[in-house]
Amino acid sequence: MKIKVTICLAALLLAAPFAAVAQKYQGVVDKSVAIVGGELITLSDIEQEVQMMNARGYASDRNIRCELLENMMKAKLFLMQARLDSLTVNQEMVEAQLGQQMDQVRTALGGDDGVEAYFRKPIYKLRQEWHKQIEESTLTQQEQQEIAKAIPEVTPYDVKQYIDSSSVDRLPIVPIKYKMSQICLYPDRQAAALAVKERLLSIRERIINGEKFATLARLYSEDPGSARKGGELGMASKSIFWPEFADAAMSLKLGSISQIVETPDGFHIIEVLEKKGDMFNARHILLKPRYTSEDREKAFKKLDSLKTAITDSLITFELAARFYSEDAATRTNGGQMADPGTGSAYFEIDQIKPQDYAALKDLQPGEISDPLESLDNEGRDGNLVYKILRLDSIIPAHTASFERDYTELLGEVRAAKQAEAIDKFIKDKIKITYIKIDPLFQDCEFELDGWKSKFAQD
């Protein structure tokens, strides 16, 4: 079963603790390795980050500890300024982020006991430390935003100057973009849902009559991640599951089998093996609706008829979409598609579903595809949908120009100016801030030269 949020911490936190630190640091007792104004950075702060990053498989072309220390010192400069500027954080957002972080770690390590054993600290202490880290990170980000907002508004003159001062090979390349419209039909989801429920009820009855849940999960569950483990999900916080699933699991008695539970992933039956606070370990069997060849043939026949009617000018594509398309997001716009994230009517190739791109890549503007199977934008993976596509227009790949790509260039110039302002802030602050760096790091090749004068004497 895919849970509501991606748990990338599982592999990260379950990796063996990072013990073999670089030879240079072996045997060094924890101490402050940098002072930035009144802010301290300790060796343990750096080593904890190294452990996390190594578990992620992170690679750095510089000494990883040098890179981390420099980033931490930069962050301290922003943090000091944020406090001078009396910036504040939204404590509700901090608590929400902390809660999510705690749930992910508890899930990855099997509960509070596992977390305390891994970090060798009590939960309350970890909460305090992580709460402070989140607060400081939020203040740092807010200060960077304040600096970015302070730059003058970018004007057309700035964009023109950027183009005129840049060689052609340094100007951004705008990739090919497609504008398209669609008419969508869905299979009979009600009939498919009824069929899958009947299958799941039959499996549930077999379990109640004595067959093992784990055995049937291995045979029938369509969640490949848990099926090979007999449907077992492992001890996890309820907050990472779909609410319908979590509510059903938390309400079950140990060993009892739930009724059918519907989530965006499909239909489940659940057996809870263990509960502890707001965490539980459960088995489940997931089945997803299946659609028949008759569904496909029926939809394709109707879509083919619509394509013929549009081609013969008996009805416009826009009118057909408004009357016949079953996709609520596009039917009111005459079928015109828009990126759900940006609202743009133009799509780059990697923003187009593979099934859709396969159908439109050989079309000329104004042409309509044959009927195809695709997915909509609902839920996690999308629901099956049948459609025809019209390629409305193509913008070929080209070097960005003032006339055609002003909006994209405006964003690029703005981002460059913001980066310059932030870089200037750091360099200026290094000059006037009391900073001392432990000689332990004197061989570091820092990105900024300003740190070189800040090393303490042995």
CB 384, CB 405: distance < 8 Å? no
What per-residue confidence (pLDDT) applies to 365?
96
Quote the pLDDT of residue 15. 35
Cross-strand pairs, 387: 184, 372
CA separation, residue 421 to residues 36, 152, 232 (Å): 20, 11, 52
Q: Does the CA dihedral 366-368-369-373 come out positive or negative?
A: positive
The residue type found at 383 is: N
Query: Residue 129, Cα to own-chain centre: how many angstroms?
Result: 25
Q: What is residue 404's DSSP assignment?
A: T
pLDDT at 86: 93
Cβ atoms 115, 106 nearer than 8 A:
yes
Amino acid at the residue 358? A
- For each of the domains in the chain, give its residue range(s) and CATH number, in order of start: 9-153+417-454 (1.10.4030), 177-189+292-396 (3.10.50.40)
CB 266 within 8 A of CB 129: no
Residue 260 near residue 135 (C-beta atoms within 8 A): no
| Angle between helical axes of 213-220 and 189-208 (0-180°, round to 10) | 150
Instruction: For residue 208, count other CB atoms closer than 10 A to its CB.
Output: 11
**What's the pLDDT tens digit per position in 139-169?**
999 999 999 999 999 999 999 998 988 888 8
Please identify every stretch of the chain with a pLDDT value under 50, giving residue numbers as ranges: 2-23, 26-27, 55
Residue 54, pLDDT score = 60
In this structure, the chain runs to a length of: 458
Strand order in 435-437's β-sheet? Answer: 39-42, 32-36, 435-437
β 279-287/236-237 pair status: antiparallel
The model's pTM is 0.65
Q: Give pLDDT, residue 59.
A: 62
List pLDDT tens digits, range 361-397.
999 999 999 999 998 877 667 788 999 999 999 999 9
